[in-house]
Amino acid sequence: MPTQYILALDQGTTSSRAILFDQRGQVVAQAQKEFTQLFPQPGWVEHDPVEIWSTQAGVAAEATVKAGVNGKSLAAIGITNQRETAVVWHRGTGKPVYNAIVWQDRRTAQYCDELRAAGHEELIRQKTGLVLDAYFSASKVRWILDHVPGARAQAEAGELAFGTVDSWLIWNLTQGELHVTDVTNASRTMLLNIHTLQWDAELLALFDIPASMLPQVRPSSEVYGHTKTTIFASKVPLAGIAGDQQAALFGQLCTRPGMVKNTYGTGCFMLLNIGSEPKPSRNNLLTTVAWQIDGQVQYALEGSIFMAGAVVQWLRDNLGIIKTAAEVEILARQVSSSGGVYFVPAFAGLGAPYWDPYARGTIFGMSRATTAAHLARAAVEAIAYQTMDVLRAMQADSGLPIAELRVDGGAAANDLLMQFQADVLQSRVTRPRNTETTALGAAYLAGLAVGYWQNVAELQALEQADTTFNPQVDQGSIAVGIAQWQRAVRALQAWSQAPSPDISSSTPPTA
């Protein structure tokens, strides 16, 4: 038998990646390709599903070629993906009827307001563990059915399929043989009852979505089927699926209640393992499925911050004050503080624990002395302050002691951010040597399903912490910064609640 590996497909918001892992959980080869971000109108965010598939297929082939292996060397494939992003395609042709509507998209915010005004919010929260928000998939699917000519009639005739990105990838990997999703992705659609782990007929009726569109809900770790594409010469088991944040929680091996991780990606996502019972949140957090393995379900509390690494991208692409994302730390270190500047990066609204879809990014406290370095520092600190807000809400909801925050994602490589995070939280921040924990979680789930790894205890023996950040700064000075941050958020909320013109429908001025 040749040496075998696990291939993790990590389909993210801005890029598709493929990573090959060995039995020690080490990266053997990887490939990545960015894809187009589409912004048809203010507040709208779309992706081309065909480009998502083509880039993901391309990097899967590239990573295996880099490692000099073929399909026979792959013990299994695990998939992790951007969640809530909705794809609707034709079952006969396999072609999307519209672009994928991305989790960041706000076009259905008004529709969600109408559902709230009609008194549906509590029903949705009780069944799904989610807040009523445009962030989730259900209102996006409804929009496609209502706005794409002929789509609703096709859906009612059973001709259309809906899926989150994992379902779309598996459909293409099996040439239409499998239409499945796992419990973690299903729990983000606002259509799954997280108590029964079944699609909910009452919610489907509320959103007017035909049940025939939906994928089969499966556990996070089992063999779903085998590939049928030409990417691999031989069939490879498809054996693990989890939404990106749940995959990172598992990759960080937060397998016991009270263990918490934060992923600093495009957005910032914190998950706290709360055990086998779903607990409702009193602080605007989400109750979600963490994973289902061997019939056992674990739940998590989640706080979603919409703009984290994307703030750094904005400094790079829109302001041009840095050339690469890594430069933000160098620039921010040129000053010892933000100089009284506070940046609330609510470009796509405020997430947990505020859930204000109408908030927009704002910078407070600038003076003539403010420099690019102060803006960079304020941007870095904003990521940490938002994380603090979410962790405080989690502690209040769960009653669980939290001694450590495990971190991963691209921005976790920023030492300045990680140290400031420890200072603000006044608790330990631990960064693993391998920060590819999202892909690693998908690999672990797939590997467990095919016996590549025998159990979680074997995975825990592989664990290697890299860097620990302990609080260093005086609590008094940190408290001042926290108070000013909270003041900035309150000011932004006051602004967002004031009446404003509908810029999405306004006519641009003529020259």
Q: Which residues are annotated as a binding site for glycerol?
A: 83-84, 135, 244-245
Task: Retrieve residue 403's tokens.
Answer: 């001694």
List, as one string, the DSSP characters of 107-140. TTHHHHHHHHHTT-HHHHHHHHS--S-TTSHHHH
Q: Which residues are annotated as a binding site?
A: 13-15, 17, 83-84, 135, 244-245, 266, 309, 313, 410, 414
Q: Which residues are annotated as a binding site for ATP?
A: 13-15, 266, 309, 313, 410
Beta bridge partners of 81: 11, 243
Q: Which residues are annotated as a binding site for ADP?
A: 13, 17, 266, 309, 410, 414
Helix 372-398 / helix 415-425 crossing angle, nearest 10 deg: 40
- Note the helical H segments in 292-371: 309-314, 327-332
What is the spatial distance between Cα 19 and Cα 163, in angstroms, rounded to a whole number? 23
| CB neighbour list of residue 399: distance below 8 Å, 6 or more residues apart | none
List, as one string, the DSSP characters of 235-293. --EEEEEEEHHHHHHHHTT--STT-EEEEESSSEEEEEEEESSPPPPSSSPEEEEEEEE
| CB neighbour list of residue 461: distance below 8 Å, 6 or more residues apart | none
Torsion angle of C-alpha atoms 298, 304, 307, 313, degrees rounded to 10? 0
What is the spatial distance between Cα 443 and Cα 294, in angstroms, rounded to a whole number? 16
What is the spatial distance between Cα 256 and Cα 254, in angstroms, rounded to a whole number? 6
Amino acid at 285: L
Closest CA to 221 of 137, 119, 295: 295
> Looking at residue 317, what DSSP letter applies?
I
What is the spatial distance between Cα 422 and Cα 431, in angstroms, rounded to a whole number? 11
> Looking at residue 509, what DSSP letter applies?
P
Map tokens 């991963």 to a residue: 408
> Looking at residue 316, what DSSP letter applies?
I
What is the spatial distance between Cα 416 and Cα 425, in angstroms, rounded to a whole number? 14
What is the spatial distance between Cα 495 and Cα 505, in angstroms, rounded to a whole number? 20
Q: Which residues are annotated as a binding site for sn-glycerol 3-phosphate?
A: 13, 83-84, 135, 244
What is the spatial distance between Cα 379 and Cα 344, in angstroms, rounded to a whole number? 8
